[in-house]
């Protein structure tokens, strides 16, 4: 019963494949309209204006073209370009129409209609420029037993920011992207991008800077018998027991080499206290970059009395 199917089976299969190919060719050569969600890119406004707000990220459109062209777009990365014309400084409500959209993919496929959004609110501002200091930003910790000396510095120390006037005018400084100092054991110089303010429409010149980081070995040093002072109000005097403190401090090798006891201040603030006896901690002021490791003792006995009263 199935002899007719087995007869010239190879030719039948080839004929079927050719028929399918012909059908696919004819079908995909027809013109269709398909819906696409496409990324939206905006042109510059011109007229010395710059976009100061974020447009919609995507727009849903109907594209018209042959089946082949539309299938290629399904598996490609097409986007539409919007031409912002006749805009003014401030907020603008702009229609989104097929005439204002260019499909950046295939000139034989056209935008037949816009589904959503059909309009957008955009803010434009005058272009302004300003020279700003750059703060170098770091992340991580250097190798064990190593310390960062001071702050990382940027070279050049200033850059020019160009963008929407309302934002540029109030920006005090710019920062670099964080550069990693994780595990570093010595001085390093790295290149880092300068981060723009939040928003859009900004240009930075130069876009990147050199970040210099100074890293040295950590060194500890003991200072004994540092005097403990009192900061008190009028008509008060007092006694501190014990009257000195022993400190263990640490810091970068170059700073520790020049550190002397006179650069360390230790005192107890009793300016808001009444006469009496107290047990209080001391405030220890160290030069920048120097850290306290240990203090002995941690608290002190303080006796306060009115000036002129017998002890």
Question: For 199, phi and psi rounded to 5 degrees?
Answer: 125, -155
3-state helix, strand, coil in the chain (%, to 5): 15, 50, 35
DSSP labels, 199-254: SSS-EEESSEEEEEE-EEEEEEEEEEEEE-EEE--TTEEEEEES-EEEEEEEEEHH
DSSP state of 176: B
Say whether 289 sits in a helix, a strand or coil.
Answer: coil
Whole-angstrom distance, CA of residue 189 vs CA of residue 264: 32
What is the C-alpha R_g of the chain? 37
Whole-angstrom distance, CA of residue 94 vs CA of residue 85: 9
Say whether 166 sits in a helix, a strand or coil.
Answer: helix
Q: Which domains does the chain have, with CATH numbers?
A: 31-117 (2.170.120), 127-213 (2.170.120.40), 218-306 (2.170.120.30)
DSSP labels, 63-102: EEEEHHHHHHHHTS--EEEE---S--SEEEEEE--GGGEE
Using CA atoms, how far residue 7 sits from 3, 11, 13, 19, 189, in Å, is 6, 9, 11, 19, 79
> Given this model, what pLDDT does residue 7 score?
61
> Given this model, what pLDDT does residue 9 score?
55
Closest CA to 164 of 46, 87, 51: 51
> Given this model, what pLDDT does residue 26 score?
46
> Given this model, what pLDDT does residue 74 score?
73
Average pLDDT, consecutive stretches of 10 residues, N- to C-terminus, the chain (311 residues): 55 56 51 82 74 88 80 77 83 88 75 88 91 97 93 97 93 97 95 93 95 96 96 82 97 94 95 91 95 96 80 50
> Given this model, what pLDDT does residue 308 score?
64
Using CA atoms, how far residue 39 sits from 58, 95, 105, in Å, is 4, 17, 12
> Given this model, what pLDDT does residue 269 score?
92
> Given this model, what pLDDT does residue 266 score?
97
Parallel, antiparallel or unpaired: strands 208-213 and 291-296: unpaired
Closest CA to 215 of 294, 135, 140: 140
């Amino acid at each position: 019963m199935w002899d007719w199917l087995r007869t010239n089976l190879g030719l039948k299969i080839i004929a079927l494949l050719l028929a399918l190919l012909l059908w696919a060719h004819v079908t995909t050569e027809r013109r269709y309209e398909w819906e696409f969600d496409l990324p939206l890119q905006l042109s510059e406004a011109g007229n010395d204006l710059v976009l100061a707000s974020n447009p919609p990220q995507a727009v849903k459109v109907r594209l018209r073209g042959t089946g082949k062209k539309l299938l290629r777009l399904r598996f490609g990365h097409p986007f539409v370009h919007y031409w912002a014309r006749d805009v003014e400084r401030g907020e603008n409500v702009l229609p989104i129409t097929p005439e204002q959209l260019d499909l950046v993919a295939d000139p034989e496929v056209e935008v037949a209609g816009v589904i959503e959004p059909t309009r957008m609110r955009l803010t434009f501002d005058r272009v302004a420029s300003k020279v700003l200091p750059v703060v170098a930003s770091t992340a991580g910790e250097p190798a064990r037993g190593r310390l960062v000396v001071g702050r990382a510095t940027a070279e050049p120390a200033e850059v020019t920011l160009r963008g929407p006037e309302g934002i540029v005018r109030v920006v005090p400084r710019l920062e670099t992207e964080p550069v990693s100092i994780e595990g570093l054991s010595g001085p390093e110089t790295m290149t880092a991008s300068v981060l723009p303010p939040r928003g859009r429409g900004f240009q930075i010149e130069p876009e990147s800077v050199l970040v210099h980081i100074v890293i040295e070995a950590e060194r500890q040093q003991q200072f004994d018998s540092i005097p403990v002072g009192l900061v008190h109000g009028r008509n008060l005097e007092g006694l501190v027991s014990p009257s000195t403190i022993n400190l263990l401090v640490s810091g970068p090798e170059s700073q520790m080499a020049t550190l002397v006891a006179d650069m360390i201040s230790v005192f107890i603030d009793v300016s808001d206290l009444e006469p009496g006896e107290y047990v209080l901690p001391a405030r220890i002021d160290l030069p920048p970059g120097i850290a306290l490791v240990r203090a002995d003792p941690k608290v002190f006995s303080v006796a306060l009395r009115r000036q002129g009263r017998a002890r």
